[in-house]
C-alpha cells in the first residue's frame, strides 16, 4: 500500500484531504466532521482534535476506517489494487536549464487579455484551444513556432514548439538537452487525479483537458520514468488514446502499468483524437477507464480496426498462397 493509495482512500471515502505534511494528512473527521482530523501515514492511526469526539479518545486505525466505509485503499469497485510491490524510487532527475523562446501569444495587462498574434490565436482555435487555455498554459510565439512550456513544479523542464510556417524541417521542436520522454505534461495537476487519459499530442491534450482528465506523454510510448511517476501518484486508471498504428507500444505500456499496480486500457483510434467527433472521444476515454478497472481486457476497438486488419492480412496471405 502506498502513501498515494491511502491519500486517495480519504478522497474516495468523502472525507477530503485538506493538507498533506510530512507523514500526516489532515482531513475532515470521519466521526464528527471537524476539519482537524490527522492521520499518520507511517503509524496508520488517526486522531481528532475535537476533545468530545470519539476519535479523540479512541484513535481509529486504518482498519477501523476501512470498516466504516466498507472498502480499503486497495479496493476499487470490487477490485483490489496493490502497489506495495512498487519500491522503485523516482529516477534521479536532472532539471535541465530551459528557456522558453518567443513572447506570450496573449498577455495579461492589468487583468485584461491582449492578443499579440491574432493569426496564432486563430490557428489554436482551430485546434480547439480557447483564449483561456492559451493564457493558462502560457503559450508563446517567436514568429515561426508556437511553444507550449512544460513545467515540473516551478521548473521549466521542456517545451514543445510547433512550426506554423510549414517550412521548417522539424514540425515539432523540443528544448535541446531535455529528455522529452521523462515528463508528463502538466504533471503537478495530473498526479492528484484518479484517472489519466493520455494522448500523443500536446494541443490535443490541452483541448480535452477541460472535459476529461487528459494529458500527454509526448508521443506513443511510455518510458520507465513516466510509468514510475504514474504508479507513485493518486492515479488509479489510465486510458491511452494513441494512433491505431501504435497497437504494440500501447499494449506494452498497458502491461507495464499493470505490473506497477495501475489499471490501464487503450483504444484503437484511426488517426488522432481530434480527427473525430469530440463527444465520441470523451465517451471512448470513459469506456477505457471502466474496462481498465473491471477486466483484463487490454484494449477497446470502437471502429473494429483489429478485425478488419486481420481480415486484410488474411486476404493478403491467401493471395500469396494462390500465387505460389
Binding site for Zn ion (CB under 5 A): 29, 31-32, 34, 48, 50, 53, 55
- For the beta sheet containing 37-40, the strands, ordered from the edge strand earlier in sequence to the opposite edge, are 19-21, 24-27, 37-40, 45-48
Provide, rounded to whole angstroms, the least separation between the CB of residue 194 and Zn ion. 26
Complex with Zn ion: residue 31 or 234, whichever CB lies closer: 31
Q: Give the chain's count of helices (H) and strands (E).
A: 11, 18
Kindly list the distances between the CA atom of residue 287 and the CA atoms of 52, 197, 267, 298, in Å, as whole numbers in the listed order: 46, 11, 9, 12
Provide, rounded to whole angstroms, the least separation between the CB of residue 152 and Zn ion. 37
Kindly list the distances between the CA atom of residue 12 and the CA atoms of 69, 152, 160, 235, in Å, as whole numbers in the listed order: 10, 26, 35, 12
Provide, rounded to whole angstroms, the least separation between the CB of residue 42 and Zn ion. 21
Complex with Zn ion: residue 48 or 257, whichever CB lies closer: 48
Strands 37-40 and 45-48: antiparallel
Provide, rounded to whole angstroms, the least separation between the CB of residue 36 and Zn ion. 8
Provide, rounded to whole angstroms, the least separation between the CB of residue 54 and Zn ion. 7
Complex with Zn ion: residue 32 or 282, whichever CB lies closer: 32
Complex with Zn ion: residue 52 or 323, whichever CB lies closer: 52
- For 313-321, the CB contacts below 8 A with 24+ separation are none
Complex with Zn ion: residue 37 or 208, whichever CB lies closer: 37
Amino acid at each position: 500500500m502506498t502513501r498515494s493509495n491511502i491519500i486517495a482512500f480519504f478522497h474516495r471515502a468523502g472525507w477530503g484531504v485538506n493538507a498533506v505534511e510530512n507523514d500526516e494528512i489532515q482531513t475532515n473527521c470521519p466521526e464528527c466532521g471537524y476539519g482537524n482530523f490527522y492521520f499518520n501515514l507511517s503509524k496508520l492511526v488517526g486522531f481528532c482534535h475535537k476533545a468530545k469526539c470519539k476519535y479523540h479518545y479512541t484513535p481509529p486505525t486504518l482498519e477501523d476506517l476501512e470498516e466504516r466505509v466498507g472498502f480499503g485503499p486497495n479496493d476499487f469497485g470490487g477490485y483490489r489494487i496493490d502497489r506495495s510491490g512498487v519500491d522503485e524510487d523516482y529516477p534521479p532527475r536532472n532539471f535541465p536549464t530551459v528557456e522558453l523562446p518567443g513572447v506570450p501569444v496573449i498577455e495579461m495587462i492589468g487583468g485584461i487579455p491582449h492578443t499579440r498574434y491574432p493569426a496564432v490565436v486563430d490557428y489554436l482555435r482551430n485546434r480547439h484551444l480557447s483564449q483561456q487555455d492559451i493564457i493558462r498554459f502560457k503559450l508563446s510565439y517567436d514568429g515561426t513556432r508556437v511553444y507550449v512550456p512544460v513545467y515540473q513544479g516551478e521548473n521549466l523542464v521542456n517545451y514543445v514548439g510547433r512550426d506554423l510556417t510549414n517550412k521548417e524541417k522539424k514540425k515539432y521542436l523540443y528544448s535541446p538537452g531535455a529528455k522529452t520522454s521523462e515528463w508528463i505534461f502538466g504533471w503537478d495537476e495530473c498526479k492528484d487525479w484518479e484517472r489519466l487519459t493520455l494522448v500523443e499530442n500536446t494541443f490535443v491534450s490541452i483541448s480535452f483537458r477541460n472535459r476529461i482528465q487528459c494529458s500527454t506523454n509526448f508521443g506513443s510510448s511510455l518510458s520507465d520514468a513516466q510509468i514510475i511517476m504514474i504508479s507513485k501518484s493518486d492515479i488509479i486508471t489510465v486510458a491511452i488514446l494513441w494512433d491505431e498504428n501504435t497497437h504494440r507500444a500501447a499494449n506494452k505500456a498497458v502491461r507495464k502499468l499493470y505490473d506497477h499496480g495501475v489499471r490501464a486500457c487503450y483504444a484503437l483510434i484511426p488517426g488522432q483524437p481530434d480527427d473525430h467527433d469530440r463527444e465520441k472521444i470523451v465517451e471512448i476515454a470513459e469506456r477505457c477507464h471502466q474496462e481498465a478497472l473491471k477486466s483484463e481486457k487490454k484494449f477497446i476497438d470502437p471502429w473494429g480496426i483489429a478485425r478488419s486488419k486481420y481480415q486484410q492480412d488474411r486476404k493478403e496471405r491467401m493471395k500469396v498462397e494462390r500465387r505460389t
